[in-house]
Amino acid sequence: MTKLIKWSPFSELPTLHKEIDDIFKRFFGAGERMLGFRETEWLPSVESFISKGNLVIRAELPGINPKDVDISIVGNQITIKGERKTAKETKEEECLMKEISYGSFERSMPLPEGVDANKVHATYANGMLEITMPVPKELSAKKIEIEYKETPEKERAVRAA
């Protein structure tokens, strides 16, 4: 028999703390620079999925010259590094609002076992970096059927009462 463990809201605090920190970093990162706090990195949004036998990784990199982006694979880890540079330096006293983050960034993601690093292809268009690489067949999506039984009406009525 499985032992039941009482849920405690305090067990969720570390996860909640990290999520709140991430939100503040994303929304107020530019504000920290404007207010004279430490220079912070910004993180471009990334998505990954498997399509037609390929692992596809997309990163939003608007305003970045693709020549300023480095992609590297070490072991089973892919890393995207780069920098968004300011077009024109603005003096703090002239700045009314500053929400765009500038500076360096680095995103690393694990790759599935068996990905061939020699067959990686990267393209950049309209501010979107797309990296594709073939994945082994065993990593392709497989649909899992769910078995279920319909509970007779009498049993549902007894459970509800």
Q: Is residue 8 scored above 90 in pLDDT? A: no
- Long-range CB contact pairs, 19-24, < 8 A, 24+: none
49 CB-contact burial (10 Å; exposed 0-12 / middle 13-18 / buried 19+): exposed
Q: Do 129 and 63 form a contact (C-beta atoms < 8 A)?
A: no
pTM reported for the whole predicted model = 0.60
The Cα-based distances of 40 to 29, 43, 75 in angstroms read 7, 10, 28
Return the pLDDT at 37.
Answer: 39
* 3-class secondary structure, 57: strand
Q: Is the pLDDT of residue 98 over 70?
A: yes
pLDDT at 28 over 80: no
